[in-house]
Amino acid sequence: MLASAVPPADAAASKPAKKSPRKKKIASDTEVGQSESPDFDSIDHESEANARPGKSEANAAIARLGVDLARRDGLIRGTFRGAMGGFGFVRRGDGVEGADAPDDVFIPPGATGGALDGDTVEVRMRPRGDRRGDAMEGYVDKVLERGRRQFTGTFEQRGSEALVHLDGVPYERPLIVGDVRGLPVENDDKVFVEIVAFPTATDAGEAVILEVLGKTNNPAIDTLTIMRQYALPESFADVVLDEARAQADAFAEGIIPPERRDLTGLLTITIDPIDARDFDDAISLDYQEGRWTLWVHIADVSAFVPIGGALDQEAERRATSVYLPDRVVPMIPEVISNHLASLQPEKVRLTKTVEIEMLDNGVITSVEVYNAAIRSDQRFHYEQVDEFIESPESKRGQWGDTICDLLARMHTLAMAMRRRRFNRGSLTLEVPEVKIDLDKTGKVKGAHIEAYTESHQIIEEFMLAANQAVATWLDDQELNYLHRIHPPPDRRKLRQLEMFVKDLRLPVTSVESRQDIQRVLDLVAGTPLENAVNFSVLKSMNKAIYGPNREGHYALDMEHYCHFTSPIRRYPDLSVHR
């Protein structure tokens, strides 16, 4: 049982006077699906109803009428998600929640009606035309709203016609782009276009060139194409940078605000990738007579990003930092993300700190969450810590006994926490991360699988513990915040997984429970089947989402969970800090 104790002046969050108007935006920017977003909408609609009851009742009546008509006509409205094979799925929107249709409606090839990924569509249901018995499928009857109009593509001059072959869309024919005289564009150039007339069965469609990106043999064009295709910003607006610089000018280097706990005397280290520039978490650890005290320090980005300002609005719009092979598109300007908020060695930095006390058997005896100031003593990268784990005594002359003893304690505690977490039912689902290798000119020269070693596991366990502790603390305080939710898998997907593992002749009778799934993962661990089975298990899982309600995290087997540990690169974490 967690015992929470936080002095009012140190409280990392407080009960809001009113709901934030940003909940619906967060639902879209952080990949909350359409079927979950009504949780956010209902909050905003409730406050609107209190202010304007007449208008709200009229809108509700119109919405009910739309639902009734949809049910009568056998229509489903939702968001189309396309797949490479020409088929897709429609995730049902909130207009027809009571309709008799699956959450995800299968749309077979040839029935997409010209819909593209992200479009809002109207779908009619029909029996499936394959061997699946009385199962239902849908076909797109109408595209109600286009999700996007701007795309990248490859230019082609075919006789007198100027054409563009769009990237990432299932169109078999190129779009016409009209007269391009005067534009510095040649065959096979990458271009950025806006569609003015979408293709139909009889019309190829039409687009206008917004920008000529460059030659396809230029390595930099690949990154630029991705940035245009996904509308990733190249820079921050001047008003955002001005606010960030003002925060830097106002920051008193080395001064600890009186309302914060001074933890600068606590031995503290960071462990990050070797090429990391923003250090948003640090660790301190003590052990006395069977009792562990773990401090997880997270950069207090909220101290530099006032609610509602230009910085905040831009961070909310971006939602996350985006990591590309040759660059990072940051959520927050570098003067904050790589300087003011980054937990650099020998610098006093502001943090939100989670202090967790636990016994040798893992029982948590107390949790505190408070505003603090720390000074990191040393920065490590994962490879260095792996070398220490492999040969602890070899580093004592270089790093000293104090640091080496801390690393040894961290390794001991983290591995014990990891064993207990898996014994409780958390899934050991590890999917290899592939990193792209570039040469000096930016061309791809290869790829490699990023090793997931014990140094990574140390940080993972401490971050999971902090996320769970903060979520539990917030729930105990009855505060509203953005939960990280992982719903249980659908039975249909579990049946498909069961068929797959039986086809592999694994000695498995069922994958209905979390324990059954873990047994499958254990059976293939270290074998040639491991990656294939792990990917199949991952595909059988629902996506983790953000939401306002406590619904638990299936894969981690945690009732209380949130994202707290990466506020430099994730807006949901920043909202939890607040």
Give me the tens of pLDDT residue by residue for the chain, a chain 578 residues long: 334 333 333 333 333 343 444 443 444 443 333 333 333 333 333 333 333 344 445 544 444 444 444 444 568 899 999 887 788 999 876 444 434 445 678 899 889 988 999 999 999 988 876 545 456 789 999 999 999 999 999 999 999 899 999 998 888 899 999 888 889 999 999 999 999 999 988 888 999 999 999 998 888 888 899 999 988 999 999 999 999 999 999 999 889 999 999 999 999 999 999 888 889 999 999 999 899 999 999 999 999 999 999 999 999 999 999 998 888 999 999 999 999 999 999 999 999 999 999 999 999 999 999 999 999 999 999 999 999 999 999 999 999 999 999 999 999 999 999 999 999 999 988 788 888 888 888 888 999 888 889 999 999 999 999 999 999 999 999 999 999 999 999 988 999 999 999 999 999 888 989 999 999 999 999 899 998 999 999 999 999 999 999 999 999 999 999 999 999 999 999 999 99
Centre a 10 Å sphere on the Cβ of residue 340 and count the other Cβ atoms it contains. Answer: 25
The dihedral formed by the CA atoms of 216, 222, 224 and 226, expressed in degrees to the nearest 10: 130
Rounded Cα gap, residues 290 and 135, in angstroms: 58
Q: Which two tokens stand for residue 205?
A: 């469609």
Chain-centroid distance, C-alpha 219? 27
Helix H or strand E encompassing 272? strand 269-272
- Structure-token match 């910003």, residue found: 233
Are the beta carbons of 352 and 261 closer than 8 angstroms?
Answer: no
Rounded Cα gap, residues 481 and 546, in angstroms: 10
Helix H or strand E encompassing 225? helix 219-229
- Structure-token match 């995730």, residue found: 91
Beta strand pairing call for 161-166 and 150-158: antiparallel
Rounded Cα gap, residues 175 and 205, in angstroms: 5
pLDDT of residue 132: 52
pLDDT of residue 73: 56
Q: Which two tokens stand for residue 308?
A: 């509602």
Residue 169's nearest CA partner among 197, 148, 155, 189 is: 148
- Structure-token match 């002749």, residue found: 505
Q: What is the 3-state secondary structure (H, E, C) of 503-529?
A: HCCCCCCCCCCHHHHHHHHHHHCCCCC
Are the beta carbons of 552 and 544 closer than 8 angstroms?
Answer: no
The phi-psi region of residue 537 (left if phi > 0; otherwise alpha if psi is between -120 and 50; otherwise beta) is alpha
Are the beta carbons of 207 and 167 closer than 8 angstroms?
Answer: no
- Structure-token match 């140390």, residue found: 458
Rounded Cα gap, residues 118 and 81, in angstroms: 6
Q: Could you tell me the maximum CA-CA distance found in the chain, to the nearest angstrom?
A: 84
pLDDT of residue 129: 64
Judging by beta carbons within 10 Å of its beta carbon (0-12, 13-18, 19+), is residue 102 exposed, middle or buried? middle
Rounded Cα gap, residues 465 and 471, in angstroms: 10
Q: Which two tokens stand for residue 113?
A: 């009606």
pLDDT of residue 62: 46
Helix H or strand E encompassing 545? strand 545-547
pLDDT of residue 71: 47
**Which domains, from first to last, does the chain contain?**
33-38+62-143 (2.40.50.140), 150-229 (2.40.50), 238-427 (no CATH), 465-577 (no CATH)
The answer, as to whether pTM is greater than 0.85, is no
> What three-state secondary structure class fits 376?
strand
pLDDT of residue 37: 35
Cα–Cα separations (whole angstroms), residue 499 to 169, 504, 511: 32, 9, 10
Are the beta carbons of 473 and 356 closer than 8 angstroms?
Answer: no
Cα–Cα separations (whole angstroms), residue 291 to 360, 361, 470, 567: 6, 9, 20, 30
Q: Which two tokens stand for residue 387?
A: 């070398």
Residue 90's nearest CA partner among 56, 67, 51, 120 is: 120
The one-letter amino acid code at 530 reads E
The number of C-alpha atoms within 13 Å of 419 and in the hemisphere containing its C-beta is 8
